[in-house]
Structure formats: C-alpha cells, structure tokens
C-alpha cells in the first residue's frame, strides 16, 4: 500500500516546526554569546551530550567576541562547538552557518590533507600552520592557524585561533617595496658621496694645479672632464689684455680668438681628445690684446683619479711665433734653393749640350786646319820650310792646333764628369795604380831626376773607380814633377793613412809652392799660376769633381818656395 502524500496543512505545520526550531537555535546561540547560558547540548550517535562553558565569565566571552582574530572550538569529529563573530565575518558567513557545522566545509580540497595533519597534530599537543579558507563567495583567504587542546566540561576540545594573513602579506609587500626603495636610496646616497668625493678631489687637484701653473712662463689652463674651462693663469689675461672676469665671457674665450683658418681643425682635435682621452696637441694662431695673431703650440694631458676616470685636463699654450716664422723663412729658402738647383740643373744640361756641341762642331774645322797645314807642308819646297821665318811659324801653327785639340778633349772629359755622380765604386789596389802611373811618367821622372817615396801600407785599398783613381794619381804626381823647383832635386812622397771614415792619400813635393791667396782658386777650371810650364789648367778641376762625385774631397797646403801637399779623401 503506497505511502500517503502529505497535505498542504501537514507541510505548513512542518514548516512552522522547523521555523520554531531555527528560532530556538538562534536564541540559544545568542544566549551563549551573551553569557545567558553556560551549557550546550549536542545530539550525537550516543545520544545528547551536554557541553558547559566551565568558568564562564562575561569578561572572557566579551574579550573573545571583540578580538580581531577568529576563534573556535572543535570537537573530536571536527564539529564547530563555538566560533566568534570575527571568524564568521572573515569567512563571509552568518554566525549560525558556522556554529555546529564541520570546519572541513571551509577548507579547499587541495588543502584538506594538510588541514587533517594540522588537526591531528593539534590533538596531540600544539600545532601551527598556514592555509587558505574558502569564503561564502568562493574566494580563498590566507590564514594562519594556531591550535591547542582545552578541557570543555571535562571533555577535550580543540581551541583554534585563526589570523587573517592578507594584511600581513600586503604589509610584507609594502615592506619589500620600502626595502627596495631604501636600497635604491642607499645606492643613490653612495653615488652622491662618490660624486662629492670626486668633486672634492677635483677641486683639490684644480687648486694644486692652479698653484703650480701660476709659476710657469707659458699660458696655462685647466678644464673639467667635459672640456669646460675651470682655470686660466695670469699669462693668459696678460696676453689678451684683460683682467679676470672683465668684459663678456666671449672676449676671454680662446675659441673666439682663434684665427678663422685654424678654428675648425683646432676644435676638431680638441673634441677628439675629449672623446678618446688621448693627449691634445695643436699649432694654431690666437689673437692677442693688440689684435695680432701669434702662433701658439697648444698641448694638454688628462688627469685621472684612482679609478682611471678623467677628472680634469691640464694644458699650456707656448708662443712659437718667431720659431714658426723662422721655419717659414727656411721653407721659403729651401723652395728658392730648389728653384736655383733646378735652374743650375738646366744650366748644367745646357752647358753639357754646349760642350758636346762645341767639341763636336770644333773637331771638324780643327781637323780641316790640321789637314790643310799638312797639305801646305807637302806643297812647300823643303828649302822653304827650313828657312828661318817659315819654320817657326809652321811650328807655332802646329802647336796651336795641338793645344786646340787637347782643349776640346778636356772639355769632353769635363762633360763626362758631370754625368759620373753616384757611379759605383770598387776596392782598388792603390799601390798597383801608383806603380802603373809611375811607368807612364817615367820619362818625366828621368828628365827631372826626381826622388819618389811610396808608402801606402796603412790604406792599401780605396773604394773608387779604378779609371778615375788613375786620373787622380796621374794629375797630382805629374803636377808635382812639372812644378818642381829648378834649384833643388825634386822629392815627391806618396803616403796613405786613415782618418775617421776616410782613407787619405797625401802627395807631398818640395816644388815651387803657392801663396795662400791662390789656394782656393787652384781647383777652378782653366786656372794656371805658372806660365813657364805647359798645361791647360783643367786637371785639378777634374780631380776635384771626381772626388766630390764619389763623396770625397781634396785639400791643399802650400807655401811659396817650399812646396805643396795635396790630400785626397776617399770614403771608406
């Protein structure tokens, strides 16, 4: 038989009973909160259990109700026997929803095992931990829980104090932010201290530099690391004709006083030194008090601290105006010298061409004259050639032709010498060359009865052209024999020695000699000082040219009526 369905009246009566029970429970809770009752009956499987608030005291209950932390009592089956209003508020629930419920309802699933371990540990003694609890709207709020066992009507209960950690975490976050800000402030403070220390070091360095730079004769100055002037000594203000601080700053600025042609390159070098830390050096013109631009040598070096950072630049300007003008005069003189050398080179080329042309063009007519003279001798009767007026004239004519031919030959040799500069040299046996020349001059040696002494052991070889060396020895030895003194036996000594970086050949004679006034003219072309001896006056000129072309030289010491000594210097 099916169960009868409740009528509307039954449902209304049941609702009324439930409402009455709810009001009764609410009244009970209020009574407990206000201290009106000191006991609580809770229905369990073994029947109703009576819980009394031992030592119930209005002051304690008021304290618990008004404290900022949540408080609750748990039975052994985790039923909430009591909780204060703070805990209900933290969970966002009514007090009646929490009282009599199981605390596990508010623990998130992920933390239930952790909560169970805390509760288990709390029943054994004391327990502490942190976990989130779920509010009515589903939000998770971090809490700190502290547990301890209390006797509740001779029945143990687990007292739990619940503390909201949200504010503490916000405070921790704020503290962390404050600590971070404090750390930044500390760093900034340290940086400011370092900057202040660096500034003090810079000021002391600047003061020391100023003290030292006032005592020097150059214009001296300092700048900071960025190139801004921090000091100029008295020399600068004397140079521009102003007192320190007098007039607008532009009138005291070195940039404004640079010569327009020097401004751009000078400033470029200065900025390059500032950016690279390399020393600064420049030559520029700076206007003085009279409006005159004078050349200055500007130099500056960076001054660094212990960390290697540039703290200032120390520089000077040195007046090099006269030196620069002297260099310009030297440069102008060198340019003029180059121009003169070019003119001389062209003149030498023209002279070579002239000598070549003259010697070439004169050979034909003189050969014709010589041929005509020979033809004339063949045409004239023998007795006519032998008569007194004709024979001397013919001999003079032949002698003139021979001298003309020798002159042309000498001019050709001079032209060749002009082109021999820088010709390669070789080690030549000096004794062998002298012996060969002596054989060529043997008739002259026999004719004069000259006594020769040769000693070249100290410098047996010289670096020279063998052909030219033979010509040098031939000219000097033949002159010593030709210009001998008729009153004494000719004595000629050929000696060799070394002196510094030269091998020296000396040719000494006791011949006619020269006075000091003629010594410098001796090596000129066509210079002759004794007409009684045949010669062209070109031999010593050629010797001088040959020696100079090879990097050597020739000198003479002579005394009239005593003799001469020619010294030829060959480069080693």
- Distance of alpha carbon 301 from alpha carbon 495, whole angstroms: 62
* Contacts for 120 with CB less than 8 Å, ≥ 6 apart: none
- Show the CA angle centred on residue 102, arms to residues 36 and 124, nearest 5°: 95
Which CATH architecture group holds 424-571?
2-Layer Sandwich (3.30)
Q: What is the pLDDT of residues 310-363, one digit of tens each?
A: 989 999 999 999 998 998 899 888 988 888 888 887 776 666 666 666 666 666
Check pLDDT > 50 for residue 26.
Answer: yes
In angstroms, the CA 239 to CA 236 distance is 5
Banded pLDDT at 530 (limits 50, 70, 90): very low
Tokens of 249: 């700053």
pLDDT in tens, 372-424: 777 777 777 877 777 777 777 777 777 777 766 666 665 666 555 555 555 55
The pLDDT value given to residue 102: 86
Q: Which of 314, 317, 284, 282 is nearest to 300 (CA)?
A: 314
Mean pLDDT to the nearest integer, 167-196: 72
pLDDT tops 50 at residue 529 = no
CA–CA distance, 548 with 545 (Å, rounded to integer): 5
Question: Buried b / exposed e across 525-550, counting CB within 10 Å, b at 16+?
Answer: eeeeeeeeeebeebbbbbbbbbbebb
Report residue 255 as tokens.
Answer: 């940039």
Instruction: Please calculate the CA angle 91-96-102 and round it to the nearest 5 degrees.
Output: 65
Q: Cα–Cα distance between 489 and 510 in angstroms, integer?
A: 9
Rounded Cα gap, residues 183 and 93, in angstroms: 43
Q: Is the pLDDT of residue 543 over 90?
A: no
Domain segments of the chain as ranges: 27-56, 424-571
Least confident of 118-127, 150-159, 563-572: 150-159
User: Are the CB atoms for 569 and 548 separated by under 8 Å?
Assistant: no
pTM: 0.37
How does pLDDT run across 461-511, given as a tens digit for each residue?
998 888 888 889 988 998 888 888 888 899 999 999 999 889 999 999 998
Give the separation between CA 73 and CA 87, rounded to whole angstroms: 12
Which pLDDT tens digit goes with each residue over 273-285? 999 999 999 999 9
Tell me the per-residue pLDDT of 231-269, one tens digit each, with 9 for 90 and over.
888 889 889 888 877 767 766 788 899 999 999 999 999
CA–CA dist 86, 69 (Å, integer): 6
**Calpha distance 421→310 (Å, rounded):** 58
According to DSSP, the residues that pair with 507 across neighbouring strands are: 494, 566
Give the chain's mean pLDDT.
Answer: 79
């Amino acid at each position: 038989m099916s169960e009868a369905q409740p009528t509307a009246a039954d449902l209304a009566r049941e609702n009324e009973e439930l409402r009455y029970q709810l009001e009764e429970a609410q009244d009970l809770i209020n009574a407990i909160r206000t201290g009106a009752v000191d006991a609580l009956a809770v229905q369990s499987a073994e029947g109703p259990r009576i819980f009394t608030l031992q030592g119930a005291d209005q002051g304690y209950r008021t304290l618990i109700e008004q404290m900022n932390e949540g408080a609750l009592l748990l039975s052994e089956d985790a039923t909430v026997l009591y909780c204060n209003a703070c805990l209900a508020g933290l969970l966002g629930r009514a007090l009646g929803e929490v009282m009599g419920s199981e605390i596990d309802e508010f623990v998130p699933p992920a933390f239930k095992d952790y909560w169970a371990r805390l509760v288990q540990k709390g029943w054994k003694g004391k327990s502490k931990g942190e976990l989130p609890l779920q509010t009515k709207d589903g939000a998770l709020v971090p809490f700190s829980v502290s547990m301890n066992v209390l006797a509740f009507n001779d029945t143990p209960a687990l007292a739990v104090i619940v503390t909201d950690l949200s504010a503490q975490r916000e405070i921790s976050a704020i503290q962390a932010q404050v600590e971070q800000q404090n750390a930044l402030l500390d760093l900034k403070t340290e940086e400011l201290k370092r900057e202040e220390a660096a500034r003090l070091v810079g000021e002391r360095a600047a003061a020391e530099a100023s003290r030292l730079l006032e005592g020097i004769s150059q214009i001296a100055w300092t700048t900071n690391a960025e190139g801004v002037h921090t000091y100029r000594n008295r020399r600068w203000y004397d140079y521009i004709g102003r007192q320190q601080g007098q007039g607008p700053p532009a009138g005291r600025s070195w940039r404004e006083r640079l010569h327009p042609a020097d401004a751009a390159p000078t400033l470029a070098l200065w900025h390059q030194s500032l950016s690279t830390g390399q020393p600064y050096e420049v030559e520029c013109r700076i206007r003085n008090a009279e409006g005159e631009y004078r050349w200055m040598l500007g130099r500056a070096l960076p001054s660094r601290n212990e960390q290697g950072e540039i703290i200032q630049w120390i520089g000077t300007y040195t007046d090099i105006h006269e030196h620069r003008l002297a260099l310009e005069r030297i440069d102008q003189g060198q340019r003029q010298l180059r121009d003169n050398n070019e003119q001389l080179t062209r003149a030498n080329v023209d002279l070579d061409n002239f000598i070549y042309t003259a010697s070439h063009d004169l050979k034909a007519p003189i050969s014709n004259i010589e041929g005509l003279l020979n033809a004339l001798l063949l045409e004239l009767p023998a007795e006519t050639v032998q008569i007194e007026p004709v024979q001397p004239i013919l001999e003079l004519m032949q002698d003139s032709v021979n001298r003309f031919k020798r002159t042309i030959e000498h001019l050709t040799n001079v032209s060749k010498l002009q082109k021999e500069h820088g010709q390669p040299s070789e080690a030549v046996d000096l004794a062998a060359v002298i012996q060969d020349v002596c054989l060529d001059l043997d008739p002259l040696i026999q004719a004069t009865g000259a006594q020769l002494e040769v000693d070249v052991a100290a410098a047996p070889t010289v670096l020279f052209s063998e052909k030219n060396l033979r010509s040098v020895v031939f000219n000097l030895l033949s002159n010593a024999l030709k210009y001998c003194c008729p009153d004494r036996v000719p004595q000629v000594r050929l000696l060799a020695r070394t002196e510094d970086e030269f091998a020296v050949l000396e040719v000494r004679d006791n011949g006619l000699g020269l006075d000091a006034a003629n010594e410098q003219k001796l090596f000129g072309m066509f210079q002759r000082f004794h007409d009684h001896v045949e010669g062209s006056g070109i031999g010593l000129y050629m010797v001088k040219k040959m020696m100079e072309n090879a990097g050597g030289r020739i000198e003479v010491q002579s005394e009239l009526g005593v003799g001469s000594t020619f010294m030829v210097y060959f480069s080693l």
